[in-house]
Amino acid sequence: MKKQLLFGLFALLMGSQAMAQSQLCQPFLEWGFYACISKVEINGMVSEFSTTPDGWNGKIGSNSYDEPTQYGDLTADASKVVNLKPGEEYDLNVTVCNFSSGEGDLYYLTVYFDWNGDYELTKAETIYQETLTLSAPGQNSFIAKSIKVQVPADAAATSTMRVYLHYKTPAVPYDENDPCCDQDGGMLKDYKVVTGDAPISIANVSSESFSVYPNPTEGTLYVNAEEAGEYMLYSVDGKMVQKGMVMGGAINVAANQPGMYILKVQTGNGVKQTTVVIK
């Protein structure tokens, strides 16, 4: 595996700043990252990243999304909260890609859920791990995995999900009993998980590029956004009550009971969300 020291050190420094909020342990990833986590999706939460790979002129994802860093702490990002229900099963979709690792290099894709909310990862909290063989760097290197997530009935009200992609090498073996053991290189993303009846995290986004009106509404919401596409409507306890595509700049929500809801809309500038009231 080609090691680019300056690139790795830069990523490490950036990652140390990015992890300031997350309370999970941080493994030491010596050589930065050569493959990346491109997209994470679960129960309406969509998290995408982009980069201009070193030595490759293509793009990963879209430039409208945040640039990836080695240690990606998204636990303080209200638009990236994962809302789940105890006892329910969900599909977690993770897409990874290769931008400067060698063809045929092996990586672990590992997912943890800190279900008890103690911020200490254990082997038992590893819900998924698979060895991936990367193809040559470029636009054909994407690998998408669908992972079943079963939420324990006694899951803590708030916890953390970690998606972790790291280099698999005999020189620096992974210790499954120590999720934070030092590794040769990799990338990770941490997300806040809200389980049960804890209120969904609300962060309204209103700007010239995104707005929703009238609010309150008696049945129709008009969306002012660039390339408005899929939308998801949630009750304040985190349950998805409606999903579809924005058609003609409008969403019909008349079938829902009066009350407060959280609306998420996929736009050309990323996923936007706002609070709406139905009369």
pLDDT tens digits, residue range 212-246? 999 889 999 999 988 899 998 988 767 789 999 99
Phi, psi of 3 (to 5 degrees): -105, 125
CA distance 1 to 32: 12
Q: Are 25 and 209 in contact (CB under 8 A)?
A: no
Q: pLDDT digits over 160-218, tens only?
A: 999 998 888 877 888 888 888 888 778 889 999 988 754 455 555 555 578 899 988 99
Q: Which of 158, 165, 155, 143 is nearest to 89 (CA)?
A: 155
Does residue 7 carry a pLDDT above 90?
A: no
Does residue 111 carry a pLDDT above 90?
A: yes
Q: DSSP 3-state assignment of 149?
A: strand
Does residue 129 carry a pLDDT above 60?
A: yes
Look at 8-22, 109-123, 141-155, 175-189 and tell me which has the smallest mean pLDDT: 8-22
Residue 126: the pLDDT is 94
- CATH 3.30.420.10 assigned to domain 5-195? The reply is no
Q: Where are the domains of the chain?
A: 5-195, 210-278
Look at 58-62, 141-145, 262-266 and tell me which has the smallest mean pLDDT: 58-62
Comparison of pLDDT for 269 and 255, the residue scoring more: 255
| Candidate CATH numbers 3.40.640.10, 2.140.10.30, 2.60.40.10, 3.20.20.140; the one for domain 210-278 | 2.60.40.10
Comparison of pLDDT for 43 and 226, the residue scoring more: 43
Do domains 5-195 and 210-278 share one topology? The answer is yes
End-to-end alpha carbon distance in the chain: 59
